[in-house]
Structure 1
Amino acid sequence: MKRSNASDDLPEFFKVYTSALSSKLMRIPPDFITKFAGNIPTMCTLERPQIASWQVDVCKVDDCWFFRKGWPNFVEDNSLQNADFLTFCYLGKSLFYVQIFSPNGCEKRGQSAGINVPKQVHPRQVEDINKNPNFKTVLTKGYMNKKVVRMPRKFWNAHMKKHERTGLDVTLCVENQEWNVGVRKCHDSILIQKGWPKFVRDNNLKAGTSITFQLTDANHLAFIVTFCRLN
């Protein structure tokens, strides 16, 4: 399964969690294992950007590969329940970007999953993050080459289509700095294009970086942008 806002050069798989089968270990699909080209890591990091990360061992049992040691901690910390839907996007260097969705289709947030918020983040900030409309994407090599990034159509329709223009000016805020970019509808895609290459250069973004866009002003179209970078 591929997310609509990521290109095909990042391998990904999904799992539906069931406690009877997956509370102690999680099977990795055999077709996905072939993508390691024989260099299967013995330990991986499962990361939920802006929330936390977990170290898990990868081991072989009979003819199958599993997340094993450390996986029960991931299950407990994220309060996984039957029928939760998980996506695992492999960013390289033994790092997986993980998203978790409840059976109703809504993404599970850190606080609702019972995860401790890092001490340097003020509780009010976390509350605001969870309330703001947002979308996430991974900066792939394809995006780097094309000098664009795609916005999910669902997000456009819910929060930006009301402006009734095919091209919109948007402000991206990182800490105390701002960048102006252009978002436009191109055929079936919603692209952040004008001004995006400068934003990438100024923030030293590389392929594999996970980016979160949080809409803070729906009238003037301002976003707070945060990154989760590869080491």
Structure 2
Amino acid sequence: MARNIAFGRIQEDMNKTSFFKILADEDLSSESMRLIPNEFWRSSECKILPPKVTLKVAWGSSWPVNLSPFMGCYLMERKGWEEFLNDNHLGDNEFLTFTNEGNNCITVDIFQKNCVEILKPLNTSSSNVKNEEMSCVDPVIAESNKRKVDSNVYGASSSSSSAATFSLTIKKSHLTLLSIPVTFAKEHMPKVRTKFVIHDPKGKPWEVVYVPSNGSKLFSSGWRFLANGYGLAVGDLCTFRLVRPKEMVLEVLHDSP
């Protein structure tokens, strides 16, 4: 399921190019592992490719990596690539997706071999890990990077007072379409129709479509299935927490019968 979500993210914005790697090679610093496909740069506004890029992960840490030409493509130079691998303790058949965000920035989504996405540092003791505010990141991502990421990103214990959240009590109409508070939508939600992934506290995902209009901001397609999966009923208290620009965690306090 996690890999399907990863590919779904790649397809959500066709203006961004992506590629993936599976860290199954015995030599993780080989040329094939460090290679960046030429097609990856097709949406870049740069006429001349940058001498280096920045690899950025979900919790906001980043690594500068120099580039060098290689057989018509580009290689990530060994030093920066190995720092990225070592700082994140990678090399156990992880699945990585690389997305071109522009401004010489590449976001990297990391999935363990059990297909669970890594959303927190596996070890924060390394002094090499950098926490830079990147110009290529939109305001919602930049704000989320300031939040504390606990050991269980989907659990209730991982919520932070600075996380973007809203709560509402389920009405009958909410079981078909969910109306999102306008103030929250204006501050934190996209301006255009967008596919969201909503997780329960254990990480199980549902895909729903967010539809903004002048009069309302709604979760529409997919919401009914989520409501059924959660067993939502009139009177339940729902709290939505934005954990990534297009991902939320939904926690439900069911109304007592």
Does the alignment reach a TM-score above 0.5?
A: yes
SS of the residue corresponding to residue 23 of structure 1 reads coil
Tell me how large the CA RMSD over aligned residues is.
4.3
Q: Equivalent residue for 1:211?
A: 245
Tell me the residue number matched to 1:114: 123
Contact between 1:109 and 1:130, CA under 8 Å: does it hold in 2? no
With structure 1 as the length reference, what TM-score do the two structures score? 0.57
Change (3 A) 1:130 1:219: closer
| Aligned residue in 1 for 2:53 | 44
Q: How does 1:111-150 map to 2 (within 5 A)?
A: 111=121, 113-116=122-125, 126-127=150-151, 129=153, 131=155, 147-150=192-195
Q: What is the TM-score of this pair, normalised by structure 2? A: 0.52
Kept after mapping to 2: 8 A contact 1:78/1:115: no
Change beyond 3 A, Cα 1:160–1:76? closer
The answer to whether the 8 Å contact 1:27/1:67 transfers is yes
* Runs of at least 5 residues in structure 2 that lack an aligned partner in the other structure: 132-145, 160-188, 211-215, 227-243
- In structure 1, stretches of 5+ residues that fail to align are 135-142, 169-179, 191-209, 221-231
Higher-strand-fraction structure: 1
SS of structure 2 residue aligned to 1:126 = coil
- Specify the structure having the higher radius of gyration (Cα): 2
Shift of 1:50: 2.1
**Matched position secondary structure for 2:101:** strand
In structure 2, the partner of 1:58 is: 67
- 1:20 counterpart SS class: coil
Aligned mate of 1:77, from 72, 76, 87: 87
Aligned residues: 172
Query: Would you say the 8 A contact 1:4–1:152 is kept in 2?
Result: no
Counterparts of 1:149 and 1:19, CA distance in 2 = 36
Letter paired with 2:37: P
Shift of 1:103: 1.5
What is the identity, as a one-letter code, of the residue corresponding to 2:20?
F
Determine what percentage of the aligned residue pairs are the same residue: 19
Q: Which has the higher contact order (CA 8 A, sep 6+)?
A: 1
Tell me which amino acid in the other structure corresponds to 2:94. Answer: D
Q: Which residue of 2 aligns with 1:184?
A: 220
**Residues 1:131 and 1:66: Cα distance change in structure 2 (over 3 Å):** farther
